[in-house]
Chains A and B, each alone.
Chain A
């Protein structure tokens, strides 16, 4: 898989003696579905801000398509266009008075004129099914709708990597289902999707690679089956096993017929697993 973004030995600290990220090395590839797990304060959001260039690493470097990214305006614009960041709180992200103008914020900041920005905005609104909301003010939207606007914000910039900072937090179940559907659609577009979440079941269902952060360091990086098999790691990171994973594993212990079968990712996979 083509490597899009790489952080090499990156360290960052908000306070002198408390590193928020320490020697983090991680590469993101095209078509990847990566879940970032960890307790509050483990360094997930700081990692995202470093990936997007909002924070400058104290040590280490960020590479985009194998090229180091400098701190100049052009380099940062190139990085921020390629690596979109959907913030946890849409209210912190949404700045404009209507959905349409909000989605145009990124493309216009890239120096595009109205004529160039409009098709990008239309496409992003269409992808997020927001065409009927274009003239609505953000303050009158529901939490799920605001989240869709904040994703459309990023899609309009045509990124190659999208970082989602706890996208399922404070969403109702139907909005979470819609978000998962959106993530699946985006994964089909050959983007690299990175989701930080506390929802272990969602991570198990959706991700094909899992990274666990503890105290600013990467404690694990691998396939979900391998990461969730390590009980000691999960305990030290304050995590638990996904419900389906745990149930299927317990069942496999009692029924040798199930041993070796791929564990079910979703409830829809369950009949095939036990069948």
Chain B
């Protein structure tokens, strides 16, 4: 999280430099970074945390097909206009829906956003800086030219950054309100091939089993000073992952036996919890999509 916060502050400063006075840009970015750092300080575990939050979200009761359609619609609308404001508005809208609509804690949302944010910010950084003979709005003299940030690069980076942020926020709205098994159920209804569905179910289930195995092995190694020194830590990490690999093979064999013992024939089939489509949910999703569409039209 600390790296993301520093990176966000630096990219923010580069994006705002020349648009605001330098001191104001610096203060604004530092304040933003401090707020992000404070709000996103809470810590859980990745995949398990997303799934747990989705299970407890108030939006979990919504029909999963409707949520998929809503998020897909919002994402497409977010990508249409060539304005960073659309991406920013989508990101804020999705945050509001997920946090206040779904009840996902803000610090958890920000912490989970930190991972994709690193990629987005690094991408923005690559778009911002270019080598040129002519100076831009922010310059670093280098080898007779300038490593500089130009106004055009700022505009381009802003657009890409906020578009991507908006699209990622749409995905987060979906994944933080819909448990994985319901998403897989939607894919099944859309005639996704059976082998893909089977693999998704098993991979999803095994994320948690392997994670639990890994934690046990890591703790056992740590309790015997396996990570006490850098060299030992490297060796222990290798051994733990090697053992994890072997154990995952054995576990896979046992799992296959257990499935076979219950007449598994190559395709998994389960009952799905009924999440009926209600008029209220449909109206709310339509209103959100319409509002996003109207904003997109206004920004074109």
User: Do A and B make up one complex?
Assistant: yes
The verdict on B52 contacting chain A, using a C-beta distance below 8 Å, is yes
Contact A95 B201 (CB under 8 A): yes
A2 interface residue (CB < 8 Å to B): no
Say whether A118 faces chain B, with CB atoms less than 8 Å apart: yes
Query: What does the 1/0 interface line of A72-105 toward B look like (CB < 8 Å)?
Result: 0100110011001101010111111110111011
Give a binary string over B191-212; 1 marks a CB under 8 Å from any A CB, 0 the rest.
0000000000110110011001
Q: Once the chains bind, are B261 and A52 in contact (CB under 8 Å)?
A: yes
In the complex, chain A residues whose CB is within 8 Å of the CB of B264: 105, 109
A153 CB within 8 Å of chain B:
yes
Asked if B254 CB lies within 8 Å of chain A CBs, one says yes
Q: Does A36 contact B (CB under 8 A)?
A: no
Q: Which A residues between 17 and 49 are near B, CB-CB below 8 angstroms?
A: 49
A110 CB–B CB distance under 8 Å: yes
A114 at the binding interface (Cβ < 8 Å): yes
Contact code string B50-66 (vs A, CB < 8 Å = 1, else 0)? 01100100000000000
A94 touches B205 (CB 8 A): yes
Query: Which of A77, A91, A121, A140 counts the most chain B CB atoms within 10 A?
Result: A91
Query: Are B205 and A117 in contact, with the CB atoms below 8 A?
Result: no
Task: Give the complex CA separation of A49 and B52 in angstroms.
Answer: 35
Instruction: Please indicate the chain B residues that have their CB under 8 angstroms from the CB of A81 in the complex.
Output: 263
Interface of B is mostly: helix
A96 contacts B258, C-beta separation under 8 Å: no
Task: Name which of B21-29, B158-166, B177-185 contacts chain A.
Answer: B177-185
How many A-B pairs fall under 8 Å by CB? 111
CA distance in complex: A49, B261 (Å): 8
- Check if B263 sits within 8 Å of A117, measured CB to CB: no
Complex contact A118–B201 (CB within 8 A): no
> Number of contact residues on A: which range applies?
35 or more
Closest to A81 in B: B263
Partner of B209, one of A91, A104, A154: A91
Question: Whole-angstrom distance between the alpha carbons of A52 and B255 in the complex?
Answer: 15
A139 to chain B: closest residue by CB:
B208
Task: Tell me which of A52, A91, A100, A139 contacts B48 (CB under 8 A).
Answer: A139
Q: If A89-B254, A92-B254, A100-B273 touch, does A153 touch B262 (CB 8 Å cutoff)?
A: yes
Query: Is the pair B257, A95 in contact by a Cβ cutoff of 8 Å?
Result: no
List residues of A (202-224) whose CB comes within 8 Å of B's CBs. Answer: none
18 example contacts (A-B, Cβ-Cβ < 8 A) are as follows A49-B261, A81-B263, A84-B262, A91-B251, A93-B255, A95-B259, A95-B268, A96-B201, A96-B268, A97-B182, A97-B184, A98-B273, A101-B270, A105-B264, A110-B263, A135-B273, A139-B48, A140-B55
**Chain A residues with a Cβ under 8 A of chain B:** 49, 52-54, 73, 76-77, 80-81, 84-85, 87, 89, 91-98, 100-102, 104-106, 108-110, 114, 117-118, 121, 134-140, 153-154, 157
